[in-house]
DNA sequence: CTTAGGGTGCAACTCGATTGCAAAGTTTAC
DNA sequence: GTAAACTTTGCAATCGAGTTGCACCCTAAG
């Protein structure tokens, strides 16, 4: 199991107090977190610092972002070995009832037949509906 | 070929001047349009009226919206017969170079293996990269 | 110790989205 | 036909997530 500092080291991101606490928080979550989620959880940490931390993490592929249509970008820690290349991508699921967004790490994205000459670089794939808890 | 009024009638949306002009505009586009795109194209029409028109269209499945991660929601006319049900969905493509978003109407979404008890209702699937024009 | 450069906190700002409200237009009931 | 009832539109104001400027802080290098 990788520790927070292992991850930062592998991804070549300097370890700081805020980065450690943000990544520690993200690693504990079962659902992807918005900036506001993190802000609410880490009440003594400034929003813009968290924001810049998330940008740094995303640039360095520590985390990936998900646009789930809720109006707030969500973030989740990348799987070990993920390089955010097309073959590393996975689907996400947004529950329209409880507003949670999950990474479906086990559901890779199939080869999409793009039009002639198009080049795939990234993807934001979000299935929406009811999660197991809300679909009763 | 369906006319604008045919479409509105089928989708049970009352025809008005603004609705007609917005839908006519959308039907002419090869790329999905943002509120601002439409506002710029229809310079004498108020933004909030266009906004409400888009909401009405979306509620009534005249159009569908796409969150492409550009920060602006894009809209495109639904294909004939589309009911915006999971089986009617398709992938989208966002060009990171020219900022255009396309509906890949010919690329249906495969059956996604969701976790136990999850229920699929909608989806926002966006592949990103370079379009045929920018990938040179 | 001194300095340089990145990291952090705070406040201000941007901009797409959304809403309140009154005026204008349309439909319905009589 | 007319008036009330309802819907749509225009305008201005507001919201809120995201972003930025700047001064201060901290740490690593010399
Ligand atoms: Mn994910
Ligand atoms: Mn589409
Ligand atoms: Zn749920
Ligand atoms: Zn392009």
Of all ligands present, the nearest one to the C-alpha of B100 is: 4
Q: What is the CATH number of domain A4-129?
A: 1.10.10.10
For chain A, percent of residues with pLDDT exceeding 70:
100
Within 79-98 of B, beta carbons closer than 8 Å to A belong to 91, 93, 96
Q: pLDDT tens across B4-36, in order?
A: 999 999 999 999 999 999 999 999 999 999 999
Q: For A98 and D5, how far is CA from C1' in angstroms?
A: 38
Torsion (CA) B25, B28, B29, B32 in degrees, nearest 10: 50
**Span B101-107, average pLDDT:** 93
Work out the minimum CA distance from A31 to partner chain B, whole angstroms: 14
Q: Which of B67, B73, B85, B127 would you mutate first to test chain A, the one with the most A CBs within 10 A? A: B127
Residue with the two structure tokens 């505009």 = B25
Distance CA B101, CA B67 (A): 10
Q: How many CB atoms lie within 10 A of CB B94?
A: 26
Q: pLDDT tens across A30-79, in order?
A: 999 999 999 999 999 999 999 999 999 999 999 999 999 999 999 999 99
pLDDT number for residue B64: 97
pLDDT of A136 > 90? The answer is no
pLDDT number for residue A128: 96
Residue B119: closest C-alpha in chain A = A130
Per the prediction, chain B carries an average pLDDT of 95
Separation of CA A103 from chain center: 8
List the domain boundaries for chain B: 4-129
Asked if A129's CB is within 8 angstroms of B122's CB, the reply is yes
Per the prediction, chain A carries an average pLDDT of 95
Using the Cα atoms of residue A90, residue A63, residue B97 and residue B123 in order, give the sign of their dihedral: positive
Q: How many CB atoms lie within 10 A of CB B98?
A: 12
Between vectors from CA B73 to CA B103 and to CA B20, what angle results, nearest 5°?
75
Question: Is the whole-model pTM more than 0.75?
Answer: yes
- The DSSP secondary-structure symbol of A97 reads T
Classify strands B101-108 and A90-95 as parallel, antiparallel or unpaired.
Answer: unpaired
pLDDT number for residue B107: 85
Which residue of A102, A117, A128 is in closest CB contact with B124?
A: A128
Q: How many CB atoms lie within 10 A of CB A14?
A: 8
Nucleic acid strand C within 7 Å of B36 CB? yes
Work out the minimum CA distance from A134 to partner chain B, whole angstroms: 8
């Amino acid at each position: 199991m990788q520790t927070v500092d292992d991850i930062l080291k592998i991804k070549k991101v300097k370890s700081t107090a805020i980065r450690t606490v943000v990544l520690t928080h993200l690693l504990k979550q079962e659902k992807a977190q918005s900036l506001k989620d993190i802000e609410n959880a880490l009440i003594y940490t400034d929003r813009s610092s968290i924001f810049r931390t998330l940008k740094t993490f995303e640039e360095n592929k520590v985390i990936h972002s998900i646009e789930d249509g809720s109006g707030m970008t969500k973030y989740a820690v990348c799987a070990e070995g993920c390089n955010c290349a097309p073959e590393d991508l996975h689907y996400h699921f947004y529950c329209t009832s409880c507003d949670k967004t999950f990474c479906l790490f086990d559901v890779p994205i199939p080869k999409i037949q793009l039009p002639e000459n198009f080049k795939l670089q990234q993807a934001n794939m979000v299935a929406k509906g009811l999660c197991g808890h809300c679909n009763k």
